[in-house]
Amino acid sequence: MNSHPWAGKPAPRSMLVNVPELISAYYTLQPDVAQPAQRVAFGTSGHRGSSLLRSFNEAHILAVTQAVCDYRREAGINGTLFMGMDTHALSWPAQLTAVQVLAANKVDVCIAANFDYTPTPVISHAILTHNRDGDKKCDGIVITPSHNPPSDGGFKYNPPHGGPADTDVTGVIEARANAILEDNLREVQLLELKSALQSPTLHYYDYLTPYVKDLGNVVDMDIIAQSKIRIGADAMGGSGLSYYRAIKERYGLNMEVFHDTLDSTFSFMHVDRDGKIRMDCSSPYAMAGLVALKEDFDIAFGNDTDFDRHGIVTKSMGLMNPNHYLSVAIAYLSENRSLWKKDLAIGKTLVSSSIIDRVAASLGRKVLEVPVGFKWFVDGLLHGTIFFGGEESAGASFLRHDGTVWTTDKDGIILNLLAAEITAKTGRDPGEHYQEMTDKFGAPIYARIDAPASIEQKAVLKKLAAEDVKEEMLAGEPIKAILTNAPGNDAAIGGLKVVAENGWFALRPSGTEDIYKIYAESFIDATHLERIQDEAKAMVAKLL
């Protein structure tokens, strides 16, 4: 995939989204439920869309919020619902709509004081904290499309376990929401906005203070403060606008904070590879601004818009590949959390780097390899059977110092602060640790490419069986395994993974776009990686 001419450059004004147009379309455009693209559709991270495309409009939020209320009643969930939103332009009106429905359904709801913004991991933290101490089951909603372009909106539901809802929940909510849309919203319970905002069931809650205060129980904040290392924290205009400054003040960190004021056009961003503004903290193109400052700091980092992903910038390597940082974090945590049990496993998605497996083997740790999606780590983190859950797209979380759960959703804040802890405690940044790691385990080259696929072709790819692959060799090496189910939990991959000694590829159809994705890795060189990718595409062509 070739880079767009603007990739890695500051976004031109002509590329900025028209915020009034977006919000007007949210209220005035109506979805056509006969069009699949305009229905409610929960992917791995909730329902996403754009008001301009009639895929994220007031009708969608009315329907899906009512569907959540119906699900809660049926599931016996009667505690507080914690709701947060990010800084995408559509998040504000979507939260107001959701409040109107929740108030009419007499659901106790906590939103941030002063209508502030709230990171995804903070909602998970609040749910788990209150479920630990209370007798009623709490759950949550996060209004965010994650790192998607500024024109998009998103809606996620987190059940009482605090993590992303699984398909047994999202399937019910999605079906109910679409039925409500098809019935012209007649079953939606709704209060006018003024009454909803004055409802006794709506509570304005301080999310920031308890989360920031608790950080010392999951990251060694004292050693970071005492070291006086220079830290650069890029809030990237996201939902954690207030959080890094509060962390700096509470713990006395030598930290400079960037882009911590609201700008829903995200005009400060550098353009991503495909020519779009995308707040992807794992993209070297989107993160070009912070990478240019790497010599000014001992460690620097950024987050996507809902702060569930991390982006680590080091002097030694610039922006680290998420896979590389995950392997460093795993090794460091395994050796520097003395209260953790030695039999705790490591959770990784099957498209994450195999260097994690090699690191785990050296540590004597079991690897739980699961399909794509953070939901697969919820149970292990909640019950303390894994100490770390991480996925290739820069999302991870880990346990508290005492081995109990911190969050069951991705937490980009603690992964960034862990990079500062590593630097402070060892005197070397995570990039230097990774380079040392490759001397021991090899230096993998990892890439993901996308290819077009029709709905029919995606359906074929999703249902592949191991016997469909007739090849016995991959890039000159014997094929060791052909997987259609994840070895960690035997759950269906929704695609295929082919493994050889020094390389592998996995393919998965996209749930939201007419493409399929090929993830590939080589422990030999770039030429070997290209050969793996070419052979993967050739295999797919035969299968289709």
Which sequence positions are flagged as catalytic?
146
Using CB atoms within 10 A of its CB, is residue 4 exposed (0-12), middle (13-18) or buried (19+)?
middle
CA angle 284, 285, 288 (to 5 degrees): 75
- Helix/strand/coil for 440: helix
Q: Which residues pair with 450 in a beta bridge?
A: 517
CB 236 within 8 A of CB 302: yes
Say how far apart CA 436 and CA 430 lie, in whole Å: 10
Handedness of CA 106, 194, 84, 304 (dihedral sign): positive
Which pair of tokens denotes residue 167? Answer: 């398909």
DSSP state of 270: B
CB 188 within 8 A of CB 62: yes
> What are phi and psi for residue 370, nearest 5 degrees?
-125, 170
Please give the distance of CA 124 from its chain centroid, rounded to a whole number.
13
Say how far apart CA 251 and CA 189 lie, in whole Å: 45
Q: Do you know the residue count of the chain? A: 544
CB 442 within 8 A of CB 358: yes
Residue bearing tokens 């004004």 = 13
3-state secondary structure 44-66: CCEEEEEHHHCCCCHHHHHHHHH
Which pair of tokens denotes residue 24? Answer: 């007007």
CB 138 within 8 A of CB 131: yes
Q: Which amino acid is at 479?
A: I
